[in-house]
Amino acid sequence: MLRTRPARDVAIPAKLQNDLRQFQRLQQDLSAVAQQRLQMDLKLRETTRTLEDLKTLPEDATLYRPIGGLLVKAKDRAEVEGILTEEKETLEVRVKALERQENHLKERYTEMQKELSDALQAAGVATSGGPP
């Protein structure tokens, strides 16, 4: 995180103050996307594990599938496998999209951190940078 310490009584220009606010929003966005990716990744691992466990059950096992807040008896194992496979594919796409978004935000974060550090030094304000 970029922290500022006034080296002297220096007023930070309005544009730089605006850039700092944008940087803080970028930090929040990066944190939110990282959290979303972790949640989706957890759901993906859970779904994958459920699919693996499902394959160990006998074909005639009684299974239930969720519909809203209810559990409804499934026709057969193939129906549940189909639902879980589709869910797994959807989660894989979401995780990949969130990874791309997170990487883009990390790149922008690094660029903006350097730009702000340089601008603050030019304005006469000391900085101490660190990762998010």
Render 68-92 in DSSP notation, one character per residue: TTEEEE-S-HHHHHHHHHHHHHHHH
Enter the pTM of the model: 0.77
Task: Report CA-CA distances (Å) from 82 to 65, 76, 126.
Answer: 11, 10, 58
- Residues 105-123 have pLDDT tens digits of 999 999 999 999 998 888 7
CATH class (in words) of the domain with range 23-121: mainly alpha
Say how far apart CA 126 and CA 28 lie, in whole Å. Answer: 23
- Please report, for the chain, the start and end positions of each structural domain, with discontinuous segments joined by +: 23-121
- Residues 35-66 have pLDDT tens digits of 999 999 999 999 999 999 999 999 889 999 98
